[in-house]
Chain A
Amino acid sequence: MVHNRLIRNYLIIGGTVILLMMGFGILMLLAQGGVLSLSPPSFYQYMTIHGTGMIGAAALAASAVMWYFLSQHVTLSKNIFKANLVLFLTGLVLVIIGVFSFDYASAWTFLYPLPTLSAKAWGTVGALLYLFGMLIIGIGFLLLFIDTGRAIIKKKGSLAKGLGWDVIAGKKAEKDAPEPAIIAGTMVAIVNVTALIAGATVIMMNIIHTVNPSFTFDPLLAKNLTFAFGHVFANSIIYMSVIVVYELLAKYTNRPWKANKVFLIAWSMSTIFTLMIYTHHMLMDSVMPKWMLIIGQVFSYANGLPVLIVTAYGALMIVYKSGIKWDMASGLAFLSMFGWTVGVVPAIIDATIVVNHVMHNTKWVPGHFHMYMGLGAVVMIFAFMYYLAKVDGGLKVTKLDWIAFFSYIVTMAAVSIQFLVSGALSTPRRWATHIPEWMGPALFGGIAGVFLVIATTLFIVHFVRYILQRNVKRNDLYDEKLV
């Protein structure tokens, strides 16, 4: 039995933090909508904790999804998995103290030289607590992804074989291709170790600058490293979570999700492209080398497609005429395919240089990532939570869960669309105060957010019921149960 208490801890912490962060999101939208009086410093503190918490919690829960399925194929270290959770919680406490006790509010991107130059909105201690918190969280994840990479290399021989390059080259038959969980795990290990190296470098640089501001650095290189960390790390969440789609649909339809050459090539392309496309965050930096900006545009187009297409198409094919019995887990997994597909569209539009110059500093961008994360990556995590509650605890869903399912779709879509509409209205993002013409969509989003929180609470309550179950013989080996 692969499943253990640690997975549940990861998921309940991740899920609860996501829920709490939604609360901060609502407060910000209501303030922008003009119905809540929130001081600008508080708004930016909420924005900082909302972004940091959402990415951190989603990454934590997604890593549990990956660990759960990957550990069925390779030997992962439970101690490292445990250490990551401890380091995450330690870092989180530092971040919370930095933000709420010392007024730190640079947004989760901590863009140099903002941690130091705050116009006295916050001091050195707040910045250091936040930056050290992020560093500690990063160390935990780095250990986890190193362990992942090492385990895959031990099993397969190299990361190249983990991505199935020997199969692509024709040295091995397609039937011997690595399992999708191993392929995704390899990809994530590669991109996240790279991202975390960049992140550690730029965070340490920010720490040095905060302690001694006379040490100045090249802001453009700092921004490059920041997004080489932030974009890649945030992006990897969906690549960890998607493993549940491969595993769950294959089990439910009783059809194996076998990797073929097209699948392997798609994942290899995404591995390389994911590392390259952070430059689409730099399209407004006119001093960037032109070739890098072109890379940002071209490969952002390209990266949106390979894994998404093979996964979405694969999901349709595996379900087609399979006689699958839909439940919450499979429904959420299928919904996430839809969310991922529609969520990348605004990003691809924004990655077009001429559009980016107009749209990038508007709420169009939060529109993209709320749709992509809220209807894609996070839904995959909820799918896994329902899957686990069903196969491991045998917990039945109620009508309330289904109501929550449909409410979640409608309200998450509403929150995302109001951001996109605001973007189309040229409403700037990261502004605490809105003029009346901008307030309508924000207020609509805030109200939708309240119902979104209710729906998400019902998801979490279901998982808590599963955790609190007593006298249940746990067994999460689906195949065994099927027999």
Chain B
Amino acid sequence: MMKLAILFYILLLAPGTREGLESVMVLHMFLQLPLLILVGILLHGNRDWRFLEKWNENGVAGMLLAVGVLIFWMLPRSLDDALTEIGIEVWKFVSLPLLGFLWRNSWRKIVGIFKSFLYINFLSMFGLLAWLYLGTPVQICNNYLINEQQIVGAVYLSIVLVSILYLLYLVFVRGLEEEAI
């Protein structure tokens, strides 16, 4: 797992891949960022990581940090700055794998209700971002055109709709397993 994560990370760092993914807003937001998170998840794997046991015992601290990082990268400004400021770009390649790592470590520890809360909270957050990217008449990012931000908005909206359908399936059909939502 760890080898795969490192390989993935190197691949994402490679100039060709990096520039290719960052040149299109929707790829930047919905491919590069999730893949960097995936690197962190793979890096974590199924190990226990004892150094995290003490301060992330119930998963709340790790999850709060992970959500904070995630919110930062949802902001259009962050995406824009990553393209123009090397410091932010470096922060992206550090923070997102860290997010994935913390997420993987915390998810299995936090109690069910907070999983449900996070899931439902993301519905409203993604809904808001869909609205923001789709609805605002101004160009939000300097580096991406309005039509690109509208595609990002449409993807956000699609994620919300699919997530709602999945939630309905869970609560009405499949029922609740402690780890499910």
* CB atoms of A201 and B117 under 8 A apart: no
* CB atoms of A150 and B127 under 8 A apart: no
CB of B13 to closest CB in A, whole Å:
33
Q: Given A142-B117, A142-B120, decide whether A215 and B132 contact each other with a Cβ distance below 8 A.
A: yes
* CB atoms of B135 and A218 under 8 A apart: yes
Q: Given A142-B117, A201-B128, A204-B128, decide whether A150 and B135 contact each other with a Cβ distance below 8 A.
A: no
Q: In the docked arrangement, what's the CA distance between A159 and B181, Å?
A: 14
Q: Is A197 an interface residue (CB 8 A)?
A: yes
Interface string of B108-126 (1 = CB under 8 A from A): 0000110011001101110
Residues of B within 8 A of A159 (CB): 171-172
Q: In the docked arrangement, what's the CA distance between A153 and B136, Å?
A: 39
Interface size class of B (residues with CB under 8 A): 20 to 34
Q: Given A153-B175, A158-B171, A201-B128, decide whether A216 and B136 contact each other with a Cβ distance below 8 A.
A: yes
Interface size of A by Cβ–Cβ distance < 8 Å?
A: 28
Residues of B within 8 A of A215 (CB): 132, 136, 138
* CB atoms of B132 and A146 under 8 A apart: no
Q: Which of A150, A158, A216 contacts B116 (CB 8 A)?
A: A150
Q: In the docked arrangement, what's the CA distance between A146 and B119, Å?
A: 11
Q: Is B176 an interface residue (CB 8 A)?
A: yes
Interface string of B70-95 (1 = CB under 8 A from A): 00000000000000000000000000
Q: Is B144 an interface residue (CB 8 A)?
A: no
Residues of A within 8 A of B121 (CB): 200
Select the residue from A160, A193, A201, A205 with max chain B CB neighbours within 10 A.
A201
Residues of B within 8 A of A158 (CB): 171-176
CB of B139 to closest CB in A, whole Å:
11
Q: Is B8 an interface residue (CB 8 A)?
A: no
Q: Is B131 an interface residue (CB 8 A)?
A: yes
**Beta-carbon contacts under 8 Å, A208-226 to B:** 208, 214-218, 221
Q: Give the dominant DSSP class at A's interface.
A: helix
Residues of B within 8 A of A160 (CB): 172-173
**Beta-carbon contacts under 8 Å, A51-90 to B:** 77, 80
Residues of B within 8 A of A200 (CB): 121, 124
* CB atoms of A77 and B117 under 8 A apart: no
* CB atoms of B116 and A204 under 8 A apart: no
With both beta carbons as reference points, the residue of chain A lying nearest to B119 in the complex is identified as A146
Q: Which of B131, B175, B176 contacts A205 (CB 8 A)?
A: B131
Interface string of A91-115 (1 = CB under 8 A from B): 0000000000000000000000000
* CB atoms of A208 and B132 under 8 A apart: yes
Q: In the docked arrangement, what's the CA distance between A146 and B171, Å?
A: 11
Q: Is B15 an interface residue (CB 8 A)?
A: no
* CB atoms of B113 and A80 under 8 A apart: yes
Q: Is A396 an interface residue (CB 8 A)?
A: no
Q: Is A290 an interface residue (CB 8 A)?
A: no
* CB atoms of A193 and B136 under 8 A apart: no
Q: Which of A80, A147, A150, A201 contacts B124 (CB 8 A)?
A: A201
Interface string of A183-197 (1 = CB under 8 A from B): 000000000010001
Q: Is B137 an interface residue (CB 8 A)?
A: yes
Interface string of A141-153 (1 = CB under 8 A from B): 0110011011001
CB of A166 to closest CB in B, whole Å:
12
Q: Is A41 an interface residue (CB 8 A)?
A: no
Q: Is A154 an interface residue (CB 8 A)?
A: yes
Q: Is A157 an interface residue (CB 8 A)?
A: yes
* CB atoms of B131 and A201 under 8 A apart: yes
Residues of B within 8 A of A153 (CB): 171, 175-176
CB of A359 to closest CB in B, whole Å:
32
Residues of A within 8 A of B123 (CB): 197
With both beta carbons as reference points, the residue of chain B lying nearest to A153 in the complex is identified as B176
Q: In the docked arrangement, what's the CA distance between A149 and B128, Å?
A: 24
* CB atoms of B112 and A150 under 8 A apart: yes
* CB atoms of A146 and B117 under 8 A apart: yes
Q: In the docked arrangement, what's the CA distance between A142 and B174, Å?
A: 22
Residues of B within 8 A of A157 (CB): 175
CB of B118 to closest CB in A, whole Å:
10
With both beta carbons as reference points, the residue of chain B lying nearest to A77 in the complex is identified as B113
Interface string of B165-179 (1 = CB under 8 A from A): 000000111111000
A–B pairs, 25, beta carbons within 8 Å: A142-B117, A142-B120, A143-B113, A146-B120, A149-B171, A150-B116, A153-B171, A153-B175, A154-B176, A157-B175, A158-B175, A158-B176, A159-B172, A160-B173, A193-B120, A200-B121, A201-B131, A204-B124, A205-B128, A208-B132, A214-B138, A215-B136, A216-B138, A217-B135, A217-B136
15 extra interface residue pairs, beta carbon distance < 8 Å, beyond A197-B120, A214-B138:
A149-B116, A149-B171, A150-B176, A153-B175, A158-B172, A197-B123, A205-B132, A208-B132, A215-B132, A216-B137, A216-B138, A217-B131, A217-B132, A217-B135, A221-B135
Q: Which residues of A contact B (CB under 8 A)?
A: 77, 80, 142-143, 146-147, 149-150, 153-154, 157-160, 193, 197-198, 200-201, 204-205, 208, 214-218, 221
Give the top 7 A-B pairs by smallest Cβ distance, nearest first: A200-B124, A153-B176, A158-B175, A201-B124, A160-B172, A159-B171, A197-B124
